[in-house]
Amino acid sequence: MTKELLLVEDDTIFANTVMRRLTKHGFNCLHVDSNSEALLACHRHAPEYILLDMKLAQETTLGIIAPLRKVRPHSRIILLTGFASIATAVDAIKLGADDYLSKPLDTQTLLAALNESKVSTISTDTELEGETLSAEQAQWQYIQQVLKANNGNISATARQLSMHRRTLQRKLQKKPQGDTVKS
């Protein structure tokens, strides 16, 4: 059984590489290179999986995450970027993305993210038990999510977050006060 996947990417060479790899793993891939084409493709083809490159030639895909989520509430949406930052990751998760991956990425990391059930540990309304999360708490939770996706591997997590390994270790030692991490 093939799984329908929509890839929104403006780099044709990268898109072809990703589609070739995913086709070998049972995905039927459709490629578009703009936000408007992505929304149209979601209406016409009903993909189960959506991969979004964050920065397209003239636009960003952050603005279409919420509309895509509305059109395809059960699709798995993953944001891909070569310009990773924790702030952008938190924004993407708040807008409705299920995961956030840094480029370059290997096939196994991508497959793990696609096959994972919704892994977001950041509440989409930034609240846990009636308390609003601080930026530090949201960052802590996102780091924990990425660490869990990397099976506790600090080096792989630091690479994915575009962060020095020691910086990540310091952040992990400084758990924000009043935070309850839910896994």
CA distance 10 to 165: 31
Looking at the structure, tell me whether residues 114 and 127 fall in a common domain: no
Write down the pTM of the prediction: 0.65
- Cα 183 to chain center, whole Å? 17
Closest by CA position to 41, among listed 13, 61, 18: 61
Domain extent at residue 106: 1-120
User: Can you give the CATH number for the domain in which 145 is found?
Assistant: 1.10.10.60
**Domain co-membership, 62 together with 129:** no
Give percent above pLDDT 70 in the chain: 84
Residue that terminates a domain, selected from 120, 142, 165: 120
CA distance linking residue 99 with residue 79, whole number of Å: 6
Closest CA to 121 of 103, 102, 148, 158: 148
61-103 residue pLDDT tens: 888 999 999 999 999 999 988 776 777 778 888 888 888 888 7
Whether 125 and 104 map to the same domain: the answer is: no
φ, ψ (nearest 5 deg) of residue 79: -95, 130
Shared-domain flag, residues 40 and 109: yes
How many structural domains does the chain have?
A: 2
47 in the same domain as 68: yes
Question: Are residue 62 and residue 142 in the same domain, yes or no?
Answer: no
